[in-house]
Amino acid sequence: MNYQKILEEIRQETEYLSKEGAQATYIPELGNVNPDKFGICLTTLKGKEYCLGDSDERFSIQSISKVLSLAMALGKIGKKVWERVGVEPSGNAFNSIFLLEMEKGRPRNPLINAGALVVSDIILSEFPNAEESYLSFVRELCGGAEVSYNEAIASSEQSTGYLNAAIANMLKYHGNINNKVEDVLHFYFRQCSLMMSCRELCGAFSHFANHAEPFDVGGIQLTTSQIKRMNAVMLTCGFYDEAGEFSYKVGLPGKSGVGGGIAAICPNQYSVAVWSPRLNPKGNSVVGMKALELLTDKTGVSIF
């Protein structure tokens, strides 16, 4: 498969969408990113990398971090995670509070904000130095020793994060947060602020693409069965109320973030990451969604 040629075609064929949508500004610091950035990288499980554009520039991965956090929590406490958070798509916006009230503080899944706040609480309880442990886990996962939190983005989000604070307080009210609400929020915003490049995201997600070997990274171990389940959650919940659309058009498990990134995997074949900051109204990258749709159409390979 000539992946490099396919990536070049994708770049040309998404050009017409390059001014569509708008970058996230509800986190003020994200509004300072150049919205015209475009990067894409595909890494095969045989270790070949195909990259194009701004694929080595780090950006704020935002909700893509929810997958990495889930892996860490699952590796530590296993299926006890599912006693506190479900695996059903929410069909709602990533920051919706509505179902959480109806369902008495049990988030639908770990890839919406409510679920990720519970996962953050688990990690805080299980790791004495959670922020450092998380960072070293992610560094090991992607092979990028310089990956780090972006303090300006984290504090920018903290200063406007009223809805996440409301969600965290709702969880606490229902007994689904054990640590202090402010500590959970602080840790959550830092995870979202992580700066990674498309190439580094590919490195991290290649561990989820590989079903042949158990996952053993930085002291976190996951069985192939757990990886299978994580991928199922990505497929059904990774794009919030657009998960059906992504599944229909792309057909790969993946996860988006409001920084404009999307990471996805083709089981046993490759991981892919794309970055373009302009978002559609659901908070997913316009060009990113199209790029991955073209990728599975052109290669003729998806999970379906």
Pick from 144, 257, 277, 288 the residue near ligand GLN by CB under 6 A.
Answer: 257
The C-alpha angle with vertex 257 and arms to 118 and 228, in degrees rounded to 5, equals 65
Q: Which of residues 149-168 bind ligand GLN (CB under 6 A)?
A: 157, 164
The C-alpha angle with vertex 138 and arms to 135 and 144, in degrees rounded to 5, equals 100
Closest to ligand GLN by CB, 105 or 257: 257
User: What whole-number distance in Å separates Cα of residue 304 and Cα of residue 300?
Assistant: 10
**Alpha helices for 33-150 (secondary structure H):** 65-77, 98-102, 113-126, 130-142
Closest to ligand GLN by CB, 52 or 61: 61
Active-site annotation holds for 16 = no
Active-site annotation holds for 63 = yes
Q: Which of residues 78-97 bind ligand GLN (CB under 6 A)?
A: 94-95
Closest to ligand GLN by CB, 94 or 215: 94
User: What whole-number distance in Å separates Cα of residue 25 and Cα of residue 27?
Assistant: 5
Least distance between ligand GLN and beta carbon 164 (Å): 5
Active-site entry in 33, 67, 118, 258: 258
Closest to ligand GLN by CB, 258 or 264: 258
Cα 259 from chain centre: 10
Pick from 67, 192, 294, 295 the residue near ligand GLN by CB under 6 A.
Answer: 192
User: What whole-number distance in Å separates Cα of residue 204 and Cα of residue 68?
Assistant: 8
User: What whole-number distance in Å separates Cα of residue 256 and Cα of residue 20?
Assistant: 17
Closest to ligand GLN by CB, 217 or 278: 278
SS3 (DSSP) at 221 = strand
Residues 11-40, buried b or exposed e (16+ Cβ, 10 A)? Answer: beebeebeeebebbeebebbeebebebbbb
Residue whose C-beta lies closest to ligand GLN: 63
Indicate whether 113 belongs to the interface with ligand GLN (CB under 6 A).
yes
Least distance between ligand GLN and beta carbon 56 (Å): 21
Indicate whether 144 belongs to the interface with ligand GLN (CB under 6 A).
no
Residues labelled catalytic: 63, 66, 188, 240, 258
Q: Which chain residues interact with ligand GLN by CB under 6 A?
A: 62-63, 94-95, 113, 157, 164, 192, 257-258, 283
